[in-house]
Structure 1
């Protein structure tokens, strides 16, 4: 009997000041398929969408995410406008995003399933950076 086809899951994030919320979304995304591919936002993309540079460089963030056991491949996300291209290039069967983006990526349902996962309550990179800055 032939084995069922594998499912590739793709998610995106900045993954700056890596925390348990990041870990949980990666673990939950990995559980939805057989292969997890993660797009890590480029420094320039983060600056344009958040108005600040990440604490850790894109090379460091790529290395951190690539080292996680649930991650099979990483790539640099250089543009929000290329999401469809990234999904197709990486053969995504499922796109996973946080529920703070709910509905924003439904346009990709023609190429893959789109799943919005609940965020980990009471934790965010911005809140962590603000807490660290206030303590110094």
Structure 2
């Protein structure tokens, strides 16, 4: 069985999220998704997500192509999460290209193209202006 793992905040869930998760599942038998905790997101972006970590995890868990969801509490634990879930492939959006190559001794890494013209940050800015 080939296990694929990916990570993200998945705030203000949109078609770009669906696309990368659906494509990721095609690379393996099982798709595991690490959802950034509220505190981790704050440390990365200096803001909390719009939706709580519990709500974001529930949204992801409801998708037919996601097999398991867990809470990612630290960027430094990526390799530990990969080992814990016995993942043989890490998939991330190509906006992260090269940033996770350091895990290659433990598993393969693939960066998939993002869906054009969609971004959570941009969506939040648009909503703020309304």
1:97 aligns with 2:92: yes
CA RMSD of the aligned region, Å? 0.4
Q: Matches of residues 78-93 of structure 1 in structure 2 within 5 Å?
A: 78-93=73-88
TM-score normalized by the length of structure 2: 0.99
**5+ residue gaps, structure 2:** none
SS of residue matched to 1:53: coil
Structure 1 segments (4+ residues) deviating >6 Å: none
Separation in 1 of the partners of 2:89 and 2:62? 22
What is residue 67 of structure 2 aligned with on the other side? 72
Separation in 1 of the partners of 2:98 and 2:60? 26
Pick from 30, 45, 51: which aligns with 2:46?
51
**5+ residue gaps, structure 1:** 1-5
TM-score normalized by the length of structure 1: 0.95
Separation in 2 of the partners of 1:129 and 1:65? 19
Q: Matches of residues 1-136 of structure 1 in structure 2 within 5 Å?
A: 6-135=1-130
Q: Deviations over 1:16-61 (max 9, x none)?
A: 0000000000001000000000000000000000110000000000
SS of residue matched to 2:39: helix
Aligned residues: 130
